[in-house]
Amino acid sequence: MFMTISTTGTPERPATDLGFLLHKHPDKAQTFSTSHGTAHVFYPEASPERCTAALLLEVDPVALVRRGKGKGRGGAPDAALASYVNDRPYAASSLMSVAITAVFNSALRGDCRAMPERAAAPLPLRIEVPALPARGGAELVRKLFMPLGWARVDAEPVPLDERFPEWGDSRYVRLVLEGELRLCDALRQLYVLLPVLDDAKHYWVAPDEVDKLLRAGEGWLATHPEHRLITSRYLSRRWGLTRQAEQALELVRLAESDDLDVESVDNAVDEATDTPERPVPLAQQRREAILSALHDAGAARVLDLGCGQGQLVQALLKDARFTEIVGVDVSMRALTVAARRLKLDRMGERQSRRVTLRQGALTYTDKGLRGYDAAVLSEVVEHLDLPRLPALEYAVFGAARPRTVLVTTPNVEYNVRWETLPAGHVRHGDHRFEWTRAEFRAWAGEVADRHGYTVAFTPVGPDDPEVGPPTQMAVFTRAESDSTTGGKSTDEREKEAKAA
Ligand code: SAH
């Protein structure tokens, strides 16, 4: 297994600084023993103009097999011979990524006491891996590295045997990456993507692999177009771990987009309606409609899902009929504002026992959300990408299953009545879609059918004879017998019934 890292330099910034950044002196060849063999670091060239560090890992295949770690994903070694004669000593793979941590640990963290500013800045890099096992071929290699800021990603298939081109290509590619990146970013990418491409992790994937993946993926994995493939392969397709990782990445993504939208969401809607003709802001009319629907349903313990900055939670707290209120939002910033609005820190004990704010993504089932009388999704669904909506649907209607669910969302038909809204625009930049009344009814009807609820619709705001009201609300009520099975939710309900 072999990999080189090269950089170029100038008289002021000599290429040999690479030695400081990697914490390995260019004049010395060094040897390290890792759990699977011996790693050597040496510099085939080291001048102020150009410097190359090479990492060579000598794997002991016999030791690998004896440790029972040379197995494929299937478990047992294929055959007696195959388990000794394998490609591990030659191919860059997950073992290489173990070697990267063992040998370049400080560089991976971006630490460099001698030259912190050099470590923090991009430098011209060229990385070459002559034999990279790549399940998915050169095309996948390009898909994985191209979005990461490299100017050149060369992945050339290595023929099975040069003398017999008709045999086609092997599963190896020769990889060359060139571009201006921080050294630590380049190493973190390799640390994750080499084993992802190899797709045959040699060791048991332990739960702390999720943390390692997230740490190494910081700053690039959450927004990588192939993040799902990367997490799934890196975690050897262990569904539970992959889900954990994906959930964490979703939080990262939402927290990033959050910087743009949280503050403006409510204000945008409020300001748009705060005109003399409509003295009661739409947001307030919506809260009143929700409170009255919750009263009608006789709900006492209520979830406010996507609670934002806590205006509804505040209104619920003022009404003694609501004995327990849980606000959930993915945005830490929104929750902080909500906590301040509610003065959570100065609240008396009796009040504070009634209210909880917690961070969570609504597209993941959460056992803690079971057993409530009602859930409110006020102006939330339109913030999700349409393909994520079934996940939210399942989490709320399939798993949490409160007796009543209220969903409000803009009625896009009404948009022509907003004077301030340019034609064809949604009401807020973060709205992924806005539905017509017919579209909302179709969605709500299907959800109700799938999960054993009935649904009724209530207009919120002035109900225009032509285009309808600005906000549409669906009131879902769980069928009393709860006999309709909603696909996967049956299990959940059986468990719930047992618990009760
Ligand atoms: N319910 C409030 C806020 C609506 S704004 C109101 O009616 O005024 C939408 C809120 O949903 C935002 O606070 C956003 O952070 C939250 N949100 C969006 N997607 C989410 C998700 N997947 N999980 C949890 N909260 C989410």
| Average pLDDT of the residues of the chain | 84
Is the pLDDT score of 367 beyond 70?
A: yes
The closest alpha carbon to 397, from 486, 331, 459, belongs to: 486
What is the Å distance from ligand 1's center to 255 Cα?
A: 11
Averaged pLDDT for residues 362-387: 95
What is the Å distance from ligand 1's center to 329 Cα?
A: 6
Q: Which residue has the higher pLDDT, 98 or 311?
A: 311
Index of the ligand 1 atom closest to the CA of residue 304: 1
What is the Å distance from ligand 1's center to 479 Cα?
A: 27
Residue for token pair 């009263």? 295
What is the Å distance from ligand 1's center to 334 Cα?
A: 9
Instruction: Supply the pLDDT for residue 74.
Output: 37
Cβ neighbours around 489 below 10 Å, total: 21
Look at strands 50-59 and 2-8 and give their pairing: antiparallel
Ligand 1 shell residues, CB under 6 Å? 258, 262, 265-266, 306-308, 311, 329-331, 334, 361-363, 378-380, 383-384
Is the pLDDT score of 9 beyond 80?
A: yes
Phi and psi at 47, nearest 5°, equal -125, 165
Look at strands 404-410 and 374-378 and give their pairing: parallel
Residue among 383, 386, 427, 460 to mutate when testing ligand 1 (max atoms within 8 A of CB):
383
Is the pLDDT score of 480 beyond 70?
A: yes
- Which CATH code, of 3.10.129.10, 1.10.3720.10, 3.40.50.150, 1.10.260.40, is assigned to 262-499? 3.40.50.150
Q: Which residue has the higher pLDDT, 255 or 223?
A: 223
Q: Can you give the three-state secondary structure of 309-369, one letter per residue?
A: CCHHHHHHHCCCCCCEEEEEECCHHHHHHHHHHHCHHHCCHHHHHHEEEEECCCCCCCHHH
Instruction: Supply the pLDDT for residue 279.
Output: 58
What is the Å distance from ligand 1's center to 308 Cα?
A: 5
Instruction: Supply the pLDDT for residue 481.
Output: 61
Cβ neighbours around 394 below 10 Å, total: 22
Question: Which protein residue has the closest C-alpha to ligand 1 atom 3?
Answer: 308
Index of the ligand 1 atom closest to the CA of residue 362: 23
Digit-coded pLDDT (tens) for 396-433: 999 999 999 999 999 999 988 876 666 777 777 778 89
Is the pLDDT score of 51 beyond 60?
A: yes
What is the Å distance from ligand 1's center to 307 Cα?
A: 6
Is the pLDDT score of 498 beyond 60?
A: no
What is the Å distance from ligand 1's center to 254 Cα?
A: 10
What is the chain's length?
A: 500
Digit-coded pLDDT (tens) for 442-454: 999 999 999 999 9
In this structure, is the dihedral angle defined by the CA atoms of residues 288, 289, 293 and 299, taken in order, positive or negative? negative
Instruction: Supply the pLDDT for residue 72.
Output: 39
Q: Taking the chain, what is the end-to-end CA distance rounded to the nearest angstrom?
A: 58
Instruction: Supply the pLDDT for residue 441.
Output: 98
CATH topology of domain 2-204: c-terminal autoproteolytic domain of nucleoporin nup98 (3.30.1610)
What is the Å distance from ligand 1's center to 382 Cα?
A: 9
Q: Which residue has the higher pLDDT, 222 or 499?
A: 222
What is the Å distance from ligand 1's center to 261 Cα?
A: 10
Residue among 250, 273, 329, 333 to mutate when testing ligand 1 (max atoms within 8 A of CB):
329
> Cα separation of 395 and 365, whole Å?
4
Digit-coded pLDDT (tens) for 323-352: 999 999 988 888 888 998 898 888 888 889
Digit-coded pLDDT (tens) for 147-176: 999 999 999 998 877 777 777 778 889 999
Instruction: Supply the pLDDT for residue 63.
Output: 60
Instruction: Supply the pLDDT for residue 275.
Output: 41
Token pair, residue 282, equals: 């739409």
- Residue 66, CB-side half-sphere exposure with 13 Å CA sphere: 8
Digit-coded pLDDT (tens) for 124-133: 999 999 989 8
Index of the ligand 1 atom closest to the CA of residue 265: 5
What is the Å distance from ligand 1's center to 383 Cα?
A: 7
Q: Where are the domains of the chain?
A: 2-204, 262-499
Helices (H), 199-310: 208-216, 227-234, 239-273, 282-297
Instruction: Supply the pLDDT for residue 113.
Output: 86
Helices (H), 182-238: 183-198, 208-216, 227-234
Question: Which protein residue has the closest C-alpha to ligand 1 atom 10?
Answer: 306
Question: Which protein residue has the closest C-alpha to ligand 1 atom 12?
Answer: 308
Residue among 266, 304, 330, 428 to mutate when testing ligand 1 (max atoms within 8 A of CB):
330
Phi and psi at 12, nearest 5°, equal -75, -35
Instruction: Supply the pLDDT for residue 456.
Output: 97
pTM of the full structure: 0.54
> Cα separation of 310 and 498, whole Å?
34
Index of the ligand 1 atom closest to the CA of residue 269: 8
